[in-house]
Structure 1
Amino acid sequence: MPFRFRLLSSSWAATLLFFCGCLLLASPARATHIVGGEMELVHGTGESYTLILNLYFDAYNGSPSALDADLTASIFDKTNNNRMMNVVLPLTSNTFVSYTNPACTKPTLSTRKLVYSKVISLPANTYTSAQGYYVAVERCCRNNSISNIVSPGDAAQTFYLEFPAVVRRGQPFFDSTPRIFPPLADYACRNELFYYDFGGTDADGDSLVYELVTPLNGHATATQPKPASATAAPYSPISWNSGLGTLNQIPGAPTLQINRATGRLTVRPSNLGLFVFGVSCSEYRRGEKIGEARRDFQLMVLNCPINTKPSMVLLPAATGQVPYRPGRDTLRLVPGGNHCVRLRFTDSDPNSRLTLSLSPVNFSGLLPNFTTATSGSVRSAGMPDTLTATLCFPECINTRGRVFLLDVVVGDDGCSLPKRDTVRVAFTSVPPPNSPPSLVTTAGPQLPLVARVGDLVTFDIAGTDPDNDPIQLEMTGRNFNPTALGATLTQGSVGTQQRGRFSWRVDCRAVGTDSLYNFQFTAATSPCTERQAVSITVPVLVRYTNRPPVLVATPALPVPTAPGQLPVVRLSLGDTYTATFAGTDADRDGLTMTAISENFALADAGMRFTAQNGTGVASGTFRWDVTCDAVNLHRPLDVTFQLVDATCRPLPQRQTVRFEVIRPNSPELKLYNIITPNGDKVNDEFHLPELPLNFCDEQFANIRIYTRWGQPVYESSNRDFSWPGQGSSSIYYYLVQYTDGRQFKGWLEVKP
């Protein structure tokens, strides 16, 4: 049974280290001192789960060779008992189980909790059986000193857990099985009431129901104590000794019982010995059972020194001697009345240490408090026979006409578990009357307040409470967040008032389709944790107007020749164009003037723009020195002049102008194809005077003349070339090239 050492000697510590080391070196052995255990399946994320086996081992009688470094769990389909997989669970934790009262420790009762666990995957396309699944671990053997089963040293254990499919009705279904806690660490005393809480928790909030069950034996044997894997169900139960069974597992009056709703175990054992018992915890979701966890455990019953239950009386009046009568009296707590009661508690046993505690029965929230010591010793040297304490109920408790029940409990430090005396106190309570706070503001009297962008809106609010309860000032907005608009409320206490200063520098965030803002201010108090509040609303109307700025150019910009076309400024190479721009704004908004082009840099085209921006006025100068740089860009020269007003909703003024360079007029292109070099000075030479004129990067490059067989006979880079022919009649071909890639081809006949 459980035992936690308070202090380890060096020799014992060395022995313990050797004991733990043997754990990993030992081969499977007959473990005759298994106390019990249970399994859990904890959902992680997605298809990931952690499978856990908690195994409890008799650390006093058990042999290190009986401890396992791992155990194998097997998962089966409940519908057909098909094996889904085997999971090797390595040992991940090895700790002692604590006693409820360490002072009751017995050297021969010590239990270890061994935790075996591993992360597994339950794929959604595999674990879909409507009946769910079960997982089992089989191990032999039980503690051979068990008193209530047949041949305990040869009896095995099957740790068993049921869980649902991970997909139900076509939807993902996630579940973590119940966690039953804590493990039993104490012993029971013969003919004394033993109680223990086996109640568990469920991470998914499912309902849990507890029942006594017969522990499972399974298929492991003393000759094969650790099977390679579990066998499929059914698992045979252990065999009870004569006269015992599922509903009478431990002899007693009453025998072992468990509360179906809470998991609380009770028994008044009549026989000495070591008794095994089983508990199941069924899991329900929306009224449907989805899983079951089983705990297999044992309880030692010993002869204990007689421990008399402590006793307690409650005296309602501060100076009275008439005790409170549970079940007949009701304390009625009213404003201005006495809210305290006296407690007198004692124990007939010598050297008893008594402790008071409170347990609400049918309510939650505020609890009474002890204004004096809640524990002490009686009937030892220098100690009194009877202790006293004062219990006071807060004035703020409000039972709202109901009768609240409170258990006042005194417990001793007896073994194995404290004995208790409980006085159940029925009471009603009415809190003191309280008036709501009041709230005033300096905003107004003309409402709504009117503001424009840039204005600073300020006013004060003040809250007062007639009962001098602490006040908190709050600011909210009707369908908007005041702090998101930059509004603030600072507050502080001045005497009995809570004063606040509202401040709002109105900016563009307040400009919208609905410019009326209703600010709500609240003075709130919380007497007896019940909120009381009063509110006032201050509307603020934000007015916003904006007139577009005016942009004027001197000289005036050209007028488009047709709707949808841009105005065009045309200049020749060497010319200069200058324009000045003036911007004004009737609202005196800040103005910014720019000149930009989307497809070229102004400087690359010989253009520049300078601006002087300001409040209400702006000016700018545009200059264009026309050079071949503008022509060589080979793209439209579109410049947008823009004037923007710095306001919440700007109304920019824009004017786009196209600038073009005037090209020189070239004669109509004529390509000649015959010459007669006969000396008559008429058409004696070949030349092309009507070729396109040179312009910026469009320059004449060369002319080449070839025979009909492709042999070059003439080449010149002079635009005014002249070729007299080769003497005899023949046909020639020529090619004219320009620097911009243009070419002109033709043929030429020479006649003598």
Structure 2
Amino acid sequence: MRISTFPFLLWLLLLSLSIPALATHQVGGQIEMRYIGDVQGHYQITVTQYIEDGTRGAATQATSGMLGIFRKSDNRQMTTFVVTQTGSKQPVVYANEFCAAQRNLRFVVITYQATIQLAPGSYNDPQGYYISYQTRNRNAGINNISNPDQTGFTFYLEFPALQQNGLYFTNSSPHFGTINGEYVCIGDPFKFPFGGTDPDGDELRYSMVTPLNQKGTNQNAISAGPYPDVSWLSGFSASNAMPGSPTLSVNAKTGQLTVTATQLGLFVFAVKVEEYRGGVKIGEVRRDFQLLVVECPPQTTPEPTVQIMDRPKVTTTTICTGESTVLVATVNLDWNYQWRRDGTNIVGATNATLTVRDEGQYTLLVSQKAVCSKSGDSDTLTVKQISAKAKISTLGHLCATTGFAILTAVGDTGLAYQWYRDNQALPGQTTDTLFTTEPGRYFAALTQKTVGCKASSDTTSLERSAAVQALIKSASGQNRICPNDSLALNASGGEAYKWQKDGTKVGGNGSQYTTRTAGIFSVTATDSYGCDGTSPALTITQLAPLLVTLDSIPGVCGPDNPVYTLVGSPPGGEFAGVGVTGNQFSPKSADIGDHKLTYTVKAAPECAGTVATRVAVVAPIPTIKLIDSLTTYKGNTFTLDPVYTGNPNQFQWTPATYLDNPSLGNPSIMSIDNDITYMLEVKNSTGCAAKDTIHITVYNGVWIPDAFSPNGDGLNDVWDLPGIEAFPDAEVTIFNRWGEVIYSSAKGYPNPFDGTLNGASLPVGVYAYTLRTTASRPVRKGRLVLVR
């Protein structure tokens, strides 16, 4: 007799679901994502939620909720969808209902489902995607995290890209079976087969992690990660969520939980279930739990014995389809009975006998009535059924004209097989495996060699898929390559492609190939089943390059010029630019400037144009700003500085006498000796010209009158000095008889002496003066008579 010392608390599974719960005592749950298998991207989402029975949450739990899907690489929200309740609430079964009632450990399970269609092409990010849901309010009695009643949940599930390397990637998340309601006795070893199964046969790895808190404070908010952790109280962590010797841990391969608790209380923890295929992680499910550790009274542990009725020494039996067997146990009126099938409590199976019609491993858990104590576990009785595992698995596929399939009838040992196609027995096909290249409806007739039971496997239909219709189209819609360009060819009809050019393999396995040269192209498309189809050949030609010219465009002087016709080659192109209308250029419309004109010709309408360029110059007419005349003194050297517009770049002064360079725009006159008249002619690069002249008067010196009469009669009222205008730097100073300065001119004597000082008339008399004309000439001195 095997005695069980592993009573358990109902673990509280808290996973990524989007059920808008109202209760403060949600127990948890799980979310599963199952590939339906009919259409790529078609999935069934199942959310299982556990809540305390009789609470506001159980009574008012919503019948639907919303989940969100996000991209891992950048947390972008991809979509949201609604799940709805699939049935009524079901109780979680306890082996000792008395203990469950005493400690208010009554829970119910609610299931929600949705069928969603995801576009594989939109879910191709190599980092994958995740489903998350956030809600609030854990149990206020939790003993290992801070502020539990103000701490929320983030439920989380990851799944891989649905399209990888151009092919559809098939996957379903791990599946977790029904839980048993249990409690943990302090000081006793505890273990629980918590692992799940993977529908695709992928490897599952388990590890302890810190539970996730809610991001923000809004109830049932949908938002992207990352998500915060819960706050552990001092001494607690992911690896020490429940005090124990040893502490709570999970087997990395099987998912079995173990602990020998050393402290009473309610403890939250989390387990991460990672999904691996070929050594590469492809998915993940995070699950929160909580365990209640209680004091179990030191009662005598029941020791139940079980047997198959009328077969006391046999622990394994086989029944035929539709038949049953009875399992019996020791009868004790002081015991509670709870039968289990494959480790899960059977609803209503609380008697000392159990009638069994289903295959499985059966055990009995017994406990004392009216006492919350340890439970005793029986040995295992195994019941096999001939049809329980009579399922056909299929490997391979039948393409339109090729392909094969291998059918395997997965059954128990000791079976004889006979395969049928379309209800006709296949001669010689009497093993558990059938190789076929023909479509039809297949099943296997099974006979149990020892008992003689007969059954049939399930039926599977093999059909040939439609022929792969591979096709090539050019991205431009034309089967020609533009000059100096490339052409993208797009393939359709499959998920992977093999390209050929002129009978030789080219490119990769993508749906697009780009060519720069002509040739005959074909593509072989492969669909998701591995079936092939080859496209019709597509001939691609190459257009010859164009030599495009635009005749030279003469420059014009000023905008007031007639329009002229533009000439380009080859014909049929398009002229463009400022001032262009059709094939005409208007200087007046364009106005002054250097205008870029183009002539564009396309080898074909879809091609980029070949462009010839010219510059049309509407040049400004130059202008010269030059004084008509000037006066200077004999032997002077100075520079002529005309002001120009219109961008002249050619200059010619005539005559060249006294000039250092008659071809400069601002030449210097060197040591001028006599009066002279110069003519200046200028041109710009377009040939636009302008002319001007200047006369230069040359004085030998200044004539100084010896008297003047400032009496207001209009004659000799100021002391004029003829010729002084030739000396722009001249300065005049006049003194009275005491040598005091009564007048001092600015340079050039701009305001002649008028016989006053500070506005008052000076007395008649003789005044001394000095005249400085240039720095190189001596100062002239003399006397001036002022008369009235």
Alignment TM class, shorter chain as reference: 0.3 to 0.5
* Structure with max Cα Rg: 2
